[in-house]
């Protein structure tokens, strides 16, 4: 769980799970190396970047999938990738850089083959997400947004995945692993580090992070239909409604009910 610590300025602050209260900077990530100008982006990738830009009426709307395509090739958003996107979209490199540094799905440091995100937002946290993060951080020897020396795993604390009904959840390369605990999470990362293929608890086989990034750029890997789109916990409300013959009110019925409730409140207040 997160805990309080007195900071250098004398005030108290929250230290997130997985961070050593005695040394909050113990897991400070390596600085971003912007001096590397080598790039793996070739003519084929440039063509694909142009194709993505052409899909949108306003070409700069393509910036997000273009950044994902760069990551699928480079393993991160590189200075070269930013430069090429800026040229294609006819915007400044600062425009592209501003977007790439705003969203946490864009990585400025080389990402691992598998991005393991542990949801540590409130519900997952109290259901064990903090404990999972702590165990994985210890097992892997890395903190938030850091990558193991073998380049296999990047560990990340992530915000609510809208999968609270399966809390606590992990995401591996954006595929769900539901109802996890420290032991199951450790088993997962051990398999990944040993090259054992794993599947999401919802059925989809989990690809490498670069392959997943290509899908996010808009290039299908034909795995979208592997596994169900919603499990029993997500469908519980629908099932209960069907069993009890509950129906959503029409807009008029809802408006009438609201007006009646307000009128009743008014009568109550007048007494
Ligand atoms: S809090 Fe973890 S999925 Fe919502």
Residues of the chain with CATH 3.40.30.10: 114-216
Q: How many C-beta atoms surround the C-beta of residue 139 within 10 A? A: 17
Higher pLDDT, 270 or 12: 270
Residues of the chain with CATH 1.10.10: 43-102
Percent of the chain with pLDDT over 70: 87
Which residues, judged by CB distance below 6 Å to any ligand atom, belong to the binding site of ligand 1?
119, 121, 123-124, 160-161, 163-164, 167, 169
pLDDT at 204: 86
In which band, very low, low, confident or very high, does the pLDDT at 1 lie, cut at 50, 70 and 90?
Answer: very low
The domain 43-102 is placed in CATH, from the list 1.10.10, 1.10.3470, 1.10.760, 1.20.120, at 1.10.10
- The three-state secondary structure class of 42 is coil
Beta strand 114-119 with 153-158 is: parallel
Name the architecture of domain 114-216.
Answer: 3-Layer(aba) Sandwich (3.40)
Which of 120, 123, 133 gets mutated to test ligand 1 (max ligand atoms within 8 A of its CB)? 123
In which band, very low, low, confident or very high, does the pLDDT at 24 lie, cut at 50, 70 and 90?
Answer: low
Interior/surface letters 168-194, b for 16+ CB within 10 angstroms, e for the rest:
bbbbbbbbbbbbbebeebbebbeebbe
Nearest ligand 1 atom to the CA of 160 is: 4
Which of 124, 133, 165, 178 gets mutated to test ligand 1 (max ligand atoms within 8 A of its CB)? 124
What would the mean pLDDT of 152-159 be, rounded to a whole number? 96
Q: Which of 98-107, 154-163, 219-228 has the lowest mean pLDDT?
A: 219-228
pLDDT at 239: 93
The count of residues in the chain is 271
pLDDT at 7: 47
Contacts of 219 (CB under 8 A, 6+ apart): 48, 69
pLDDT at 267: 81
* Rounded distance from Cα 70 to ligand 1 centre (Å): 29
* pLDDT tens digits, one per residue of 213-251: 999 999 988 887 787 777 888 889 999 999 999 998 999
Q: Which of 12-26, 31-45, 144-158, 218-232 has the lowest mean pLDDT?
A: 12-26
């Amino acid at each position: 769980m997160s805990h309080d610590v007195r900071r250098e300025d004398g005030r108290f602050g929250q230290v997130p799970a997985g961070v050593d209260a005695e040394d909050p900077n113990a897991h400070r990530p390596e600085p971003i190396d912007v001096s590397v100008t080598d790039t793996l982006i070739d003519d084929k990738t440039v063509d694909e970047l142009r194709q993505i830009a052409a899909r949108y009426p306003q070409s700069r709307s393509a910036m997000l999938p273009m950044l994902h395509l760069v990551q699928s090739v480079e393993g991160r958003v590189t200075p070269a990738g930013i430069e090429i996107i800026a040229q294609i979209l006819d915007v400044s490199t600062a425009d592209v850089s501003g977007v790439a540094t705003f969203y946490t799905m864009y990585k400025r440091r080389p990402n691992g083959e598998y991005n393991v995100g542990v949801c540590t937002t409130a519900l997952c946290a109290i259901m064990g997400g903090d404990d999972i993060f702590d165990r994985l951080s210890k097992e892997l020897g890395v903190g938030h947004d850091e990558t193991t020396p073998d380049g296999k795993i990047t560990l990340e604390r992530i915000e609510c995945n809208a999968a609270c009904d399966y809390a606590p959840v992990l995401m591996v390369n954006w595929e769900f692993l539901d109802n996890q605990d420290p032991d199951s999470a450790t088993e997962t990362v051990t398999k990944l580090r040993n090259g054992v293929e794993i599947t999401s608890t919802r059925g989809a086989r989990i690809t490498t992070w670069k392959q997943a990034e290509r899908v996010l750029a808009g290039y299908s890997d034909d795995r979208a239909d592997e596994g169900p789109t919603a499990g029993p916990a997500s469908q519980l409300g629908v099932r209960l409604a069907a069993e009890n013959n509950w129906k959503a009110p029409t807009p008029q019925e809802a408006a009438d009910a609201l007006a009646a409730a307000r009128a009743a409140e008014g009568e109550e207040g007048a007494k």
